[in-house]
Amino acid sequence: MEFKAQSIADFLGGTVEGDAEISVSNVAKIEEGKPGTLAFLANPKYYKYLYETNASIVIVNLDFVPEAEVKTTLIRVPDAYKAFASLLELYQQAKGFKTGIETPSYIDSTASHGNDIYIGAFAYIGKNVKIGNHVRIYPHVYIGDNTSVGDNCTLFSGVKIYEDTIIGNACIIHAGAVIGSDGFGFAQTKDGTYKKIPQVGNVILEDQVEIGANSTIDCSTMGSTIIHKGTKIDNLVQIAHNVEIGENTVIAALTGIAGSTKIGKNCRFGGHVGVAGHITIGDNVNLGAMTGVANNVKSDRTMLLQPAMEFAHAAKVAAIFRNLPQLREQVIDLARQITQIKKKLEDN
């Protein structure tokens, strides 16, 4: 499908600067733009590519001021990043969605599903499962007994949903994710061996939650592990039993959250963050990549390093750390001078 610049601008509520009749049929990164493609520019690091890109149309912010001649057609919008995301969503919808139930797949006779669904080959739908409308379940998905899946959800290939899980509306779970596996609970006995503690709770994903590929969310020992509305979790993230994560929190890859920790809303965790168990992290907390958190964190904090420190203090620590080789040499030199002074005093 082809779209003219003016049609795109009308859809986005933007204005055209250049050839309003030029058409595009695909999208591209601005540094890789070719004739017939549409790109966007929001990050200042990529400004230089605007003057050399071959993309036919580039979406830019209203306040963008070019520093040289621009050959491509521009569409100015209030927020280029959000506008481009809207176009990608429209582009994806135009490609269409699979529908129907493929064979072989197993759907228990006690399970129910809504309208306009897709269930791929080799999927397994257990007893008393409830699936809403417009749900996409790709091949090799397992959905355990007594699970409910809300409307407009997508479960990609290889997703495993254990029994009693509750999934809200418009959730996306990517390939290989496991929801509801046992929490890591063991009691050590007198002879040093470990006795498994049964995990009898479940997992609740509220509306508009997205879970990345190969991430795991453990069921609770009792009660529920809860991921609240709008939270986005990246690939290869481990969420342990009885964790609760607040609304609209985003967690990057390789992060691990230990059991029974409570995380507030609107938090942002960088990659490879580690959070200890049985602590509370407030609202609007930012944790930089590889931060290690062992104690409670109050709301509206930005933390870095291991153990986690507030940003200003962490910056000072980092500056000292960078100077450690020089400081070491100075300490060695001072020790040498002190030794020489002591020797002189003893000789006298």
Catalytic residues: 241
End-to-end CA distance of the chain: 96
Separation of alpha carbons 73 and 19, rounded Å: 6
Cα 331 to the center of its chain, rounded Å: 45
* DSSP assignments along 115-175, one per residue: SS-EE-TT-EE-TT-EE-TT-EE-TT-EE-TT-EE-TT-EE-TT-EE-TT-EE-TT-EE-T
Please give the backbone phi and psi of residue 262, each rounded to the nearest 5 degrees, phi first: -110, 125
Separation of alpha carbons 261 and 341, rounded Å: 56
**CA atoms 300, 305, 311, 312: torsion sign:** positive
The one-letter amino acid at 210: E
Please give the backbone phi and psi of residue 77, each rounded to the nearest 5 degrees, phi first: -135, 165
Separation of alpha carbons 307 and 296, rounded Å: 12
Please give the backbone phi and psi of residue 232, each rounded to the nearest 5 degrees, phi first: -120, 125
Cβ neighbours around 346 below 10 Å, total: 7
* DSSP H/E element including 39: strand 37-41
**CA atoms 40, 41, 45, 46: torsion sign:** positive
User: In 3-state terms, what secondary structure has residue 227?
Assistant: strand
The shares of helix, strand and coil residues in the chain, as percent rounded to the nearest 5, are 20, 30, 50
The DSSP bridge pattern shows strands 154-155 and 136-137 to be parallel
